[in-house]
A and B are shown apart, each in its own frame.
Chain A
Amino acid sequence: MKVRFTGKFYMRLSLVLAILLWLIIMLIDFLGNLADRSQVDLGIAPYLPTLFLNLFYIFVLIYYRYRVTKVESANFVDLLWRVFATGLVTVVISLIIMLFNNEIGGTTLAENPFLQSAFYNINKVLISVFLISTFTVWKKLILYQRSRRLVLSWRIFEATLLISIFFNLTGLVLQDSLIFEIVFGVMAIMAIILSANLKWVAYLNFKQKWKSVLLILLITIYIFYFLNFLYIAPDNSPDVFNPITELFVIVLFVFLLFYSLFSLLVILFNLPTSSVFERKMEEAINFQRLSQSIQQGENEDEIFDVLLTSSMNAVYADAGWIEIHMPNGELKVISNHIGREHINRIKENIISAKSRQIIKNPLSVDPDTDRVLVNLRRSSYKTAFVVPLLIQNEVTGFMYLMNEVSDSFNKEMINIINTFASQASVSVENFRLMGEALLNERYKEELNIAKSVQQALLPKSLDHNDGFKIHAFTEAAAEVGGDYYDTYKLDEHRFAVVIGDVSGNGTSAAFHMSQMKGIFQSLVQLDLDPKTFLVDANNALSNCLERTSFITLTYFIIDTDKKTLEFARAGHCPTLYYDKKEKHAKYFENKGLGLGILRNETFANFIEVSKIKYKSDDILVLYTDGISEATNQENEEFGYDRMKTLLEQNSHYDPVMVQKVFISKLYEFCKETDLNDDYTMVVIKFN
């Protein structure tokens, strides 16, 4: 079996050893008596039983050390109750033995040395168990609120006490030995000094104090009883005391007795003030309640409720109310022990009262925030205390506290109210800030929804056939952006491709982009030529866009049968085109005008349609100005020349790779500069 050296293990071990030792002591006594009777020398050294007894004490000490562990202010009474119970059992057993002794008094049985010594031993063990358990509890109480000095002095005392267990081996008797007397005196003084540590008493409430008084009183009686039992000489003896040989036991008695008496007195004297202490505790708890940030689902009323009730409790107010202007302009009144109609009458009274005292707000110079103490006449209330409530440094309400007794608000009370009021303000501010944060969170969520909706507006797969490969990439600066691209299959070998950019960015751009999507998807079905498409799109947009917005667009029709590319540009960035045969890239800079700029039929005059024949491995790069106008830290633009060279150098790649090279070069170019525009790229490579 694996033995684990836990507290429980030590506790059990010491219990077993203590019982064993006790049995040995009994046995030795028994044998001693037997030997006496037959006048045989037992050959046991006289110090041996004493040593066993000392070891017994030590094991009991160890046992209780592990037995009585955690002390909380709530279980002081429990601890005392345990001591009391142990004491009760011990006293009852000891009384039974005494009664039995009295009963058999005069008979030969009473004279029986075996019985006598057995009884004596049982009593002694019980007493020592009671003393040691009480000692351990008293120790816990003393060390409840510990300082370094206290712990040190306690350790010294405890160590001395441990050593004193073995003092009895000297065979000295208190009554005869000066050394014994001196040592005892010193230790007794130490015990008395330590007994002054009674801070735990302060943590008891009124009811607990009463219980403690009762329990300690009984414990004290037990201690006296045992003291009497052990040390007061029988009536027929000439001495007052029995010879005292055990320093440990007598010091223990002194310590327990003094500590019990001191606690008793201190608790008794503390009884009248405990209600004040409890009230202070309650104020602290109320303060905490006020300062705790309000849980979700609760509201500001909760804070004002706590403020009003705790303030009223703190100053023993008979009535009170809070008026507060809510952010929505509504006036909220929370009252306690007073009705609405009464409030208005008293308010008039307060305003007209002549006897008023202004108390400066320590936290503000603004005279509006000063508190007012008013003495009222001709009213059931004699004093009123008016506290302005500040939220974000603005007086948004008042708290009125009323008292039926005149001059009933003292300085302490006013201070407490000040703290309560300012704490409540902080809580309300926090509550409002939290509300705003939640709202922001919701907006963010809405934006995320917008983002996913917008992403759904961009095509997931791009229409194409074996005649060309196509790949697209887009990235928005904000959650949503204004870049747009789309494709449409006009017939088996004809495809429409579009790229666009809405002026501005962010949400407004995103809305216009979705309009553009609608217009594209409707018009493209009509299979219009590029110019008509743009003119119709311009007409449609003229009625949708606000005056300062426009959309740039390039519309392409790819015919894979005839290998032609037909396109018109509505103010969009010129398309980059790589001519494989000439190994050269160029921009299609045909005439054009952005959609929505000219909102009449003259728009058509500004649109030029181009048509080219493409060859195998020619590349078409569509992009938005987010790419061409991207700037680095030196305020240099990524620019058309760079893009042109880049395409020429990477023309052997497929569209996906071309896009990746472009974007990685773009990131490299911009380095740390933030993305401040949306950028989109569509790459088409003809087969």
Chain B
Amino acid sequence: MIEIKKESENNYLVLSVEGEVDASSSIHLDKAIREAFDDGNKQILIDCTNLNYISSAGLGVFMSYIEEINQNAINFMLFGLTEKVLKVFGILGLDQLLNIKEDKEAAVAELNGV
């Protein structure tokens, strides 16, 4: 089960992903990120505070945007990852390709160029 909340704050968009991202729910995650990209958002934050589990299919969704992020110079950041989820990103090596911040403050601070 997954729940995705979309919230526009100041100059950035926050997508909060809650629950578990498995093979079936990863489709919803992909759709939400796709929409955010298609709407022309240049600053996208993914709130993973309440993300309990992510399967390889879920990781595949993030992975598939890496190229687009780099090409279009999009500020795409994940924050609030639990230790478990962070470890999954780390093992696969995705932490080296995605911008992962500890919390929202850190992410917003980077956006604002602090």
Contact = CB atoms under 8 A, between A and B. Distances in A.
A189 to B, nearest CB: 83
A503 interface: yes
Interface in A501-518: 501, 503-505
Chain B interface mostly helix, strand, loop or mixed? helix
A626 to B, nearest CB: 11
A550 B91 contact: no
Interface string A554-576: 00000000000000001111100
B57 A573 contact: no
B92 A597 contact: yes
A552 interface: yes
A504 B60 contact: yes
A591 B93 contact: yes
B96 A501 contact: no
A87 interface: no
Interface string A80-109: 000000000000000000000000000000
Interface string A534-560: 000000000000011110100000000
Given A504-B23, A505-B23, A597-B66, A548 B60 contact: yes
Given A597-B66, A606-B96, A503 B60 contact: yes
Given A550-B63, A637-B84, A503 B91 contact: no
A593 interface: yes
A549 B26 CA distance: 12
B97 interface: yes
A594 interface: yes
Nearest to B52: A635
A552 B63 contact: no
B61 interface: yes
Contact of A593 (B52, B57, B93): B93
A592 to B, nearest CB: 5
Contacts of B92: 550, 552, 571, 593-594, 597
Given A504-B23, A504-B56, A505-B23, A547 B64 contact: yes
Interface string A584-609: 00000001111011110000001000
Contacts of A625: 56, 91
Contacts of B94: 571, 593-594, 597
B3 interface: no
A630 to B, nearest CB: 12
Max count, chain B CB within 10 A of own CB: residue among A597, A599, A635:
A597
A503 B52 CA distance: 19
Contact of A501 (B56, B61, B63): B56
Given A593-B97, A606-B93, A598 B66 contact: yes
Nearest to A509: B56
Interface string B75-106: 00000000010001001111011000000000
A572 B52 CA distance: 21
B2 interface: no
B91 A571 contact: yes
Contacts of A591: 93, 96
A571 B97 CA distance: 12
Contacts of A592: 93
Contacts of A504: 23, 55-57, 60
Contacts of A552: 91-92
B59 interface: yes
Contacts of A548: 26, 30, 57, 60-61, 63-64
A598 B92 CA distance: 12
Contacts of A574: 91
B93 A597 contact: yes
Contact of B56 (A503, A593, A635): A503
Contacts of A547: 64
B93 A594 contact: yes
B63 to A, nearest CB: 5
A503 B92 CA distance: 11
Contacts of A572: 91
A501 B56 CA distance: 10
A552 B93 CA distance: 10
B53 to A, nearest CB: 8
B42 to A, nearest CB: 22
A308 to B, nearest CB: 47
Interface string B53-74: 0011101110110110000000
B99 to A, nearest CB: 15
A594 B91 CA distance: 9
A565 B67 CA distance: 34
A606 B93 CA distance: 8
A542 B84 CA distance: 28
Nearest to A503: B56
A593 B96 contact: yes
A244 B12 CA distance: 123
Given A593-B97, A598-B97, A637-B84, A573 B91 contact: yes
A632 to B, nearest CB: 14
A629 B58 CA distance: 15
B66 to A, nearest CB: 7
Given A548-B64, A597-B66, A637-B84, A503 B57 contact: yes
A338 to B, nearest CB: 54
Q: Counting chain A CB atoms within 10 Å of each CB, which of B55, B57, B60, B67 scores highest?
A: B60
A213 to B, nearest CB: 76
Contacts of B91: 552, 571-574, 625
A546 to B, nearest CB: 9
B18 to A, nearest CB: 15
B75 to A, nearest CB: 19
Contacts of B59: 503, 550
Contacts of A597: 63, 66, 92-94, 97
A204 to B, nearest CB: 66
A353 to B, nearest CB: 55
A220 B30 CA distance: 94
A637 B84 CA distance: 9
Contacts of B55: 504
Nearest to A574: B91
Nearest to B94: A597
A73 to B, nearest CB: 61
A362 B52 CA distance: 54
Given A505-B23, A573-B91, 11 more contacts: A501-B56, A504-B56, A548-B26, A550-B56, A571-B93, A574-B91, A593-B97, A594-B63, A594-B92, A597-B94, A597-B97
16 contacts: A504-B23, A548-B63, A549-B60, A550-B60, A550-B92, A571-B93, A572-B91, A573-B91, A593-B96, A594-B63, A594-B93, A594-B94, A596-B63, A597-B63, A597-B66, A637-B84
Interface of B: 23, 26, 30, 52, 55-57, 59-61, 63-64, 66-67, 84, 88, 91-94, 96-97
Give me the 5 closest cross-chain CB pairs, A-B, nearest first.
A593-B93, A503-B56, A548-B60, A571-B92, A547-B64
